Amino acid sequence: MERPNAWKNYRKTEIKKAEALAEAYKRFLDCGKTERECTAYAVNTLEQAGYISLDRALAEKKKLKAGDKVYVNQMNKAVVAFCLGKKPLEDGMNIVGAHIDSPRIDLKQNPFYEDAGFALADTHYYGGIKKYQWTARPMALHGVVAKKDGSLVNICIGEKESDPVVGISDLLIHLSKEQSGKTLGEAITGESLDLILAGKPLAGEEKEPVLAQLLTILREEYGIEEEDMISAEIEAVPAGKARDFGLDRSMIIGYGHDDRSCAFAELQALLEIRTVPERTCCGMLVDKEEIGSVGATGMRANFLENAVAEILNLMGMYSELSVRRALRNSQMLSCDVSAGFDPLYASAFEKKNSAYLGRGVCYNKFTGSGGKSGSNDANAEFIGKIRRIMDQNRICWQTAELGRVDLGGGGTIAYICALYGMEVIDSGIAVLNMHAPMEIISKADLYEAEKAYKAFMLEA
């Protein structure tokens, strides 16, 4: 039952393809460090590939037919793209869906203060993080500031070589006797994750001169007033680029593999569909998965359902029943990363049912915690079908569980889409040190995932 390592069977041409995909992926990671940046990238690439926005199709009262390509941009934080197939939409779609939000440190709405000669920003972390991992490292600021006049200021500080970076300090080891005695979870509190932003007083300023210096920079260089932070979304993320990892360059280390590795594989797969597919292909890149898929840009919002209704209407086939049928008759890969087996923490895994880096795209029948609580638990019949699709298309794949039973848990968007009565299974790429500022994946798994998602979408 042990699954083969993908690298073993690659010919030279395949290694070249995997390398090329990895290079493109690293560029994607570097320009997509927030859900907004990933959405902008996706919209841009989809437009270039001939996709038109659903809003435009509606405005132009366009009649949609097989072969047409449309996408929905959900508040600049999520995207749903459709490549309309020959079969009636009522017969269902082949859906792949990944998320583009990643754990990070968000600035609070009233963030700035001065203490001991520093100007700092109070933060509120986003998603599940081990807090100690986010201190003592260079961080970049990405995001937007929405002004009262409706204009939006884009922020990206700390990625260019010439940019300054910011960061969260940690206590020196020499004074850490007390801190070292605490548990990992308690040693650093969420409230203490404050970012140092400046350290020089503004000349001639008596009261809080370093804060005054910071506010002057924000005003002069970005046109932002302190009060504008109330309507800002600024995310502190690890600064720097994704890089090859390992002396054999077989892996990639970077920020946000969860879940941008699956998101990229999915988007690439969608863009590679150049003929009119039998069934409609749908690719989703969604937000807020890391905090429970909530809000208008998370999977629990109805943007998929709304888009299907609009498309059916533009095809002249709308009815409430046809929307329900289109969703119920769909099948989906919920594309999200899997925990890669880590030999340094072997006891956290069960060897036979773990995902291994380099053994191809993973399928997780279920996720959740405890007795599978909160999971989707895919149907055996559907898994049988997936096995056939994977093997017919010579894809290297493996099955996995998150880790040892009762050790923890996690969820994905799978159970939400399953609410429509469609077949769903979790499928993804194995990651080492998931949710750390820098995560690791294998290039082979990215390559196999892209092939898998394309094969799944093209399934008649």
Which residues fall within 8 angstroms of residue 171, CB to CB, at 6 or more apart?
179
Output the smallest distance, CB 430 to Mn ion, in A. Answer: 12
Q: Which stretch binds Mn ion (CB under 5 A): 63-71, 116-124, 159-167, 335-343?
A: 335-343
- Identify the three-state secondary structure at position 276: coil
Give the residue with the Cβ less far from Mn ion, 259 or 450: 259
322 vs 412, beta carbon nearer Mn ion: 412
Shortest distance in whole angstroms from residue 318 CB to Mn ion = 33
Nearest one of 250, 266, 257 to 358, comparing CA atoms: 250
CA distance 306 to 286: 15
> 229 vs 269, which CB is nearer to Mn ion?
269
CB of 208 to Mn ion, least distance (A): 38
Q: Tell me the CA end-to-end span of the chain in Å, nearest whole number.
A: 29
Contacts to Mn ion from residues 256-315, by CB under 5 A:
258-259
Of 310, 336, 439, 450, which one interacts with Mn ion (CB under 5 A)? 336
| Contact window for Mn ion (CB under 5 A) among 219-227, 267-275, 334-342, 369-377 | 334-342
Minimum CB separation of residue 392 from Mn ion in Å reads: 28
Stretch near Mn ion under the rule CB under 5 A, chosen from 11-19, 332-340, 350-358, 448-456 = 332-340
User: In terms of CB distance, is 74 or 338 closer to Mn ion?
Assistant: 338
Rounded least distance, CB 100 to Mn ion, Å? 10
CB nearer to Mn ion: give 68 or 259.
Answer: 259
- Pick between residue 336 and residue 448 the one whose CB is nearest to Mn ion: 336
CB 347 to Mn ion: min, Å: 22
- On whether the CB atoms of residues 343 and 90 are closer than 8 A, the answer is no
Q: What CA dihedral angle connects 256, 76, 298 and 263, to 10 degrees?
A: -40
Other CB atoms within a 10 A radius of the CB of residue 313 amount to 15
Query: Which residue, 16, 42, 38, is CA-closest to 443?
Result: 16
Nearest approach, Cβ of 79 to Mn ion (angstroms)? 17
| Residues in region 8-37 near Mn ion by CB under 5 A | none
Residue 319 CB, nearest distance to Mn ion (Å)? 35
Q: Which of residues 239-258 bind Mn ion (CB under 5 A)?
A: 258
Q: Which is nearer to Mn ion, 35 or 258 (CB)?
A: 258
Task: Tell whether residue 439 is a contact of Mn ion (CB under 5 A).
Answer: no
Q: Mask: binding to Mn ion, 364-393, rule CB under 5 A, as x and -?
A: ------------------------------
- CA pair distance 319, 313, nearest whole angstrom: 8
CA 405 – CA 144 distance, rounded (Å): 41
Please, what is the minimum distance in Å from the beta carbon of residue 325 to Mn ion? Answer: 30
Interface stretch with Mn ion, choices 7-15, 65-73, 329-337, 443-451 (CB under 5 A): 329-337
Cα 2–Cα 366–Cα 447 angle in degrees, nearest 5:
55
CA distances from 131 to 34, 237, 352 (A): 19, 13, 31
Nearer to Mn ion, 259 or 401 (CB): 259
Q: Which 138-177 positions form the footprint of Mn ion (CB under 5 A)?
A: none
Which residues make beta-bridge pairs with 166? 139
Q: Which is nearer to Mn ion, 258 or 448 (CB)?
A: 258
Provide the pairing of β-strand 331-335 with 93-99. parallel
With H, G, I as helix, E, B as strand and everything else as coil, classify residue 427.
strand
d(CA 124, CA 115): 19
Q: Which is nearer to Mn ion, 101 or 448 (CB)?
A: 101
Distance in angstroms (rounded) separating the CA atoms of residues 348 and 321: 46
Phi, psi of 124 (to 5 degrees): -135, 115
Nearer to Mn ion, 114 or 336 (CB): 336
Q: How many residues bind Mn ion (CB under 5 A)?
A: 3
Provide, rounded to whole angstroms, the least separation between the CB of residue 284 and Mn ion.
Answer: 13
Nearest distance in Å: CB 336, Mn ion: 4
Strand-pair partners of 83: 69, 281
164/374 with CB nearer Mn ion: 374
CB of 449 to Mn ion, least distance (A): 13
Distance CA(330)–CA(347), nearest Å, equals 38
- By DSSP bridging, strand 243-245 and strand 69-74 are unpaired
For residue 177, which amino acid is it?
Answer: K
Spatial separation of the C-alpha atoms in residues 120 and 274, rounded to whole Å: 50
Long-range contacts of the stretch 49-56 (C-beta < 8 A, 24+): 49/271, 51/81, 54/307, 54/310, 54/311
The stretch among 105-113, 167-175, 328-336, 401-409 that binds Mn ion (CB under 5 A) is 328-336
Instruction: List residues binding Mn ion (CB under 5 A).
Output: 258-259, 336
